[in-house]
Chains A and B, each alone.
Chain A
Amino acid sequence: MGDFKLWGLKKSPWVFHVAAASCNNCDIEILDVLTPKWDVERFGIVLVGSPRHADALLITGVLNRKSLPRVLRVYEQTPKPCLVIGVGTCTCHCHMFEKSYNVVGPYDRHIPVDVFIPGCPPKPEAIIMGVVKALKRLG
């Protein structure tokens, strides 16, 4: 029974898109992945409007003092088990904003992130590969 439920989770990850900062390069690439050209609905991936329906959070942008409480709140509102996928170099470390006064550091200092996808911005192929690796981690 447990295997069957895990199969369901691996075959239909619904994603919610969290943009934590104002640079939207990674957002545009994520929207590319959802268009008919790459067609991730083949794998059951659907973009949902509410974090309550989501199984995976696609987080983009550098984490700053203003967006940290919002991101934490969205993470707490997502029903568990959920994956957190950081898209873009800003999520891995702070990239070119590293010395900035309002940046509070990389994501894994605050919430558990399953996969980081580097790139500024990452290619759509790289994003799909990152999601596949995140699903493999489930077992």
Chain B
Amino acid sequence: MNFIRILFNYFIFPGFLFTAIVGMFLTWIDRKVTARVQMRVGPPWYQPYADFMKLLLKETIIPEGASKTLFFMGPIFGLISMSILAVMLFTMNFSPENSFAGDLIVMIYLLALPPIGVIIGGSASKNPLASVGASREMTQYFAYELPFLITIAGIVLKSGGTIKFGEIVYLQRVNGPFLYSISGIIFAIVFLLVIQAKLGFVPFDIPEAEQEIMAGPYIEYSGVALAIYKITKAMMLLLLPVFMISILWGGVGDWWAILKLLLIIVLIILIKNTNPRLRIDQALKFFWIFLGIFAIIGLVLAMKGL
């Protein structure tokens, strides 16, 4: 019985199916808001689902000379890790007592797996543009991971040194969200820009620059493998804001969480639509020097209890 419940959790309710459907709906919101910003009409609501159905129908081409196993391991890595992350995030938000010691660390690992999958898949596809994209993805991953980890350290500091995710959510329910303090606001700004980079949205879409290196690591992917990449991106668009709400803004237990989620997503989309793409060295400088120092200021303020 317990085994069936675990399978249900993983494949259907908070796991794969639910996250994929809601995430694809959020990608529609992304495209619609982008269209309205550019004074266009924008696609209808079923557009992401139609794209997904079409990609399942198409033939999947494996490039000549590419390693077949590694080529398909790339997309599957991201999908599996995002499904596990969805189960952990939602179950621990609704019942914080299920949390085990160190699950925040597990979540950081799971969030690191999709870029690693992209790097593996891009390097395995034997295309020079894909290799350039994979190397840029790697550099960008190292860039945004520093402020991200400083933010996590600050949140652990604010919650009294616990690395239990459920306990962080529970503390915020009792004492009020961490966001309502100076260091909380600093962490939220840093986190928002890190989400932007993790999703690969425009100021930081350096690895998959459509206009210069075609699609970067995704260039050789077609059919089902490309559909899995798209669906992983859609799931990340749901899970990263949910992660931010859980550790900074009081958890997703009530109906207000939907409004918070939409607010964060619309902010990300507006940043995406009002900025040009950076170069990779500019992105590295931005994350390490500017945002890193900003996050450390937040950390010092959190130590003082502000």
Contact = CB atoms under 8 A, between A and B. Distances in A.
Interface of A: 4-9, 11-12, 36, 39, 41-44, 48-50, 52-53, 55, 77, 79-81
A55 B59 CA distance: 11
B43 A41 contact: yes
6 contacts: A8-B53, A12-B54, A41-B40, A41-B43, A48-B210, A81-B58
Q: Which 4 residue pairs of A and B lie closest in terms of their CB atoms, listed nearest first?
A: A8-B53, A8-B54, A11-B50, A49-B214
Contacts of B56: 5, 8
B222 interface: yes
In this complex, the interface size class of chain B, counting residues with CB under 8 Å from chain A, is 35 or more
B46 interface: yes
Interface of B: 31, 35, 38-44, 46-47, 49-61, 210-211, 214-215, 218-223, 226
Contacts of A9: 53-54, 57
A7 B210 CA distance: 27
Contact of A44 (B38, B50, B210): B50
Contact of A36 (B38, B47, B210): B38
B51 A44 contact: yes
A55 B53 CA distance: 13
Give chain A's interface secondary structure class: helix
A36 B211 CA distance: 18
Nearest to B221: A52
Given A9-B57, A79-B58, A53 B42 contact: no
Contacts of B38: 36
A8 B51 contact: yes
A79 B214 contact: no
A77 B42 CA distance: 30
Given A6-B57, A8-B51, A41-B35, 19 more contacts: A5-B57, A7-B50, A8-B50, A8-B52, A9-B57, A11-B54, A36-B39, A42-B40, A44-B43, A49-B210, A49-B215, A50-B214, A52-B221, A53-B215, A79-B58, A79-B60, A79-B222, A80-B58, A81-B59
A53 B226 CA distance: 8
A79 B214 CA distance: 17
A79 B222 CA distance: 7
Contact of A5 (B43, B47, B54, B220): B54
Contacts of B221: 52-53
Contacts of B223: 79
Nearest to B216: A49
B53 A5 contact: yes
Contacts of B50: 7-8, 11-12, 44
A36 B40 contact: yes
Contact of B57 (A8, A44, A52): A8
A41 B31 CA distance: 9
Identify which of B52, B54, B226 gathers the most chain A CB atoms within 10 Å of its CB: B54
